[in-house]
Amino acid sequence: MGGISRLNYFKQIFEKGPIIILFISVFNEFDFNYLDLKYFSFNFPFILIYYWSLKRPGSLGYGLIFLSGLFNDAVVGLPFGVSSLCYLLICVFSTYLRNITLRPNLIKDWFFFGFTILVVNTMMYVIASLFFEVKIIYEDILVNILFTFLFYIIFSNLFDYYQKLVFGGTTNA
Amino acid sequence: MEPSSRDDFVIAIRSAFLKKDTKQKFSLLALILLTLTILIFARYDFRFVKFAKTSLNEIAYRSTFIFSAPENFVKTTYTETKNILFVYNKNKILEEKVKELDSKILETNYIISENERLKKTIDDISYLSDEILAKVIVDKQSPFLKSIILNKGSKHGAKLGMAVLDEKYLVGKIVEVNFTTSRVLLLSDLNSKIPVDIMPNGTLSILSGTGLNHGIIQYVRDQELIENDQTVYTSGAGGLFKSGIPVGKIEKNLTDNELKVNFYSDYSQLRYVKLVSFKTEEE
């Protein structure tokens, strides 16, 4: 009996995996800044939120996504609420795609993700620079968008594997 | 009548904003409206948003310190390995520098005492400083903003605008103070601008951050007088910092005449810093 309840306990933790990873990634920006790479950065929370909102929306609560955005602003130093708005807009885009898609296709999801992060980052840039007068280098955002877009395909495959392992490949969309 | 594609689009959008899944407690529209409200209140510095932000910062900074522990371990190991690999060459360079500096110390000691004597003669302002030693708990320099978080806040006497020094070198100023933590805007940040003095000519100008690992000199009149390896100090203009804090060295780009400033401190390697506020002897 003890073995079964322990198994259930682990299963529950793995089911909460996406939200745990989201909070870890928000608190511990995967920036690799110590490698001193001038033109390299990507936004892992964008990939994670888009993928899981699209494939398994129940695994990331909107309230928790909102909260993780506030924490991200605190850690990174962006105006309070900017990241939350970006994360929630990604949810809107992915939910819209889920609503209009009959047969899911990785390439379509990927390109729609590219469009989504373009819109969301543009909005973030506009709010930060015009509304809060925080200067941001435009080229840095473009590099960030490019790598986030390219990395989606890698993380998407990893998350697919995780999903099959933990949820048995079923979706709750 | 069959629904048009425009109707499908509207239905899909409406559903995305308003429909709650069984496991969701809030609709996206409600949360987006809440975020927009927070953004507007934050823009106009409402007190309750400030209070919420300070509380959230305290939790976020402490949590980040814990969550960053594994990455910090990797980072430290990487830096130490790199240092060990280059230790022989570095030692040679350092030996030469030590010889050179030994002779300069004697010269400097004489200049300092002479300077103090002359200042007293002309009744110039002498500065006193309060120092607080702080540990860097978060140095997650995002691709967009360059800042660090310290483990000292208003409880320990940290105040907005205090200068932050790495040994004797200026690295930034405090831009946000919480109860037990504070945020430092590094000189390399795009939003950082400080008045500086380029020695030995004494050329006054503004040092701006670039978002990269160096700064640039702006609004300088006699650009041709400035040469490579000249030292950049704070000028003390504006009363924010005292004059004479070393910042970095000039690197002149001959092709476009850009004046780069290579900072003395390596901002990715900051562990402990000093928070300093300056006041005149009269104060």
Interface of B with A in 213-232 (CB under 8 A): 213
Report yes or no: A78 and A134 within 8 Å, Cβ to Cβ.
yes
Question: Cβ contacts (< 8 Å) between B138 and chain A: which residues?
Answer: 75
Q: What pLDDT digit, counting tens, does each position of B110-144 carry?
A: 788 777 777 777 665 556 567 888 988 887 666 66
pTM (two decimals): 0.74
Question: Is CATH 1.10.286 correct for A2-167?
Answer: no
3-state helix, strand, coil in chain A (%, to 5): 75, 0, 25
Contact call for B21 and A28, based on CB within 8 A: no
User: For A28, which of B16, B21, B71 is closest by C-beta distance?
Assistant: B71
Place A151 in a pLDDT band, splitting at 50, 70 and 90.
very high
Indicate if the pLDDT at residue A80 is higher than 50: yes
- Predicted pLDDT of residue A37: 61
Residue range A15-29: mean pLDDT, rounded: 84
User: For B21, which of A38, A57, A96 is closest by C-beta distance?
Assistant: A57
Q: What pLDDT digit, counting tens, does each position of B44-72 carry?
A: 878 888 888 888 888 888 888 888 788 77
Residue range A147-151: mean pLDDT, rounded: 92
- How far is Cα B183 from Cα A107, in angstroms, rounded to an integer? 41
Q: Which fold has domain B193-267?
A: Thrombin, subunit H (2.40.10)
> Which segments of chain B does DSSP mark as H helices, in order?
5-18, 28-43, 47-67, 69-85, 87-121
Which whole-number Å values give the CA distances from A160 to A50, A53, A56, A167, in the listed order? 13, 13, 11, 10
Indicate if the pLDDT at residue A47 is higher than 90: yes
**Contact B211/A at CB under 8 A:** yes
Interface of B with A in 110-149 (CB under 8 A): 138-145, 147
Place A28 in a pLDDT band, splitting at 50, 70 and 90.
confident
Contact call for B183 and A77, based on CB within 8 A: yes
Contact call for B35 and A69, based on CB within 8 A: yes
- Predicted pLDDT of residue A34: 46
Domain boundaries, chain B: 26-69, 193-267
- Write out residues in chain B with pLDDT < 70, as ranges: 1-6, 18-24, 122-129, 140-144, 279-283
Contact call for A134 and B191, based on CB within 8 A: yes
Give the number of beta-carbon pairs within 8 Å between A and B.
Answer: 153
- Predicted pLDDT of residue A4: 62
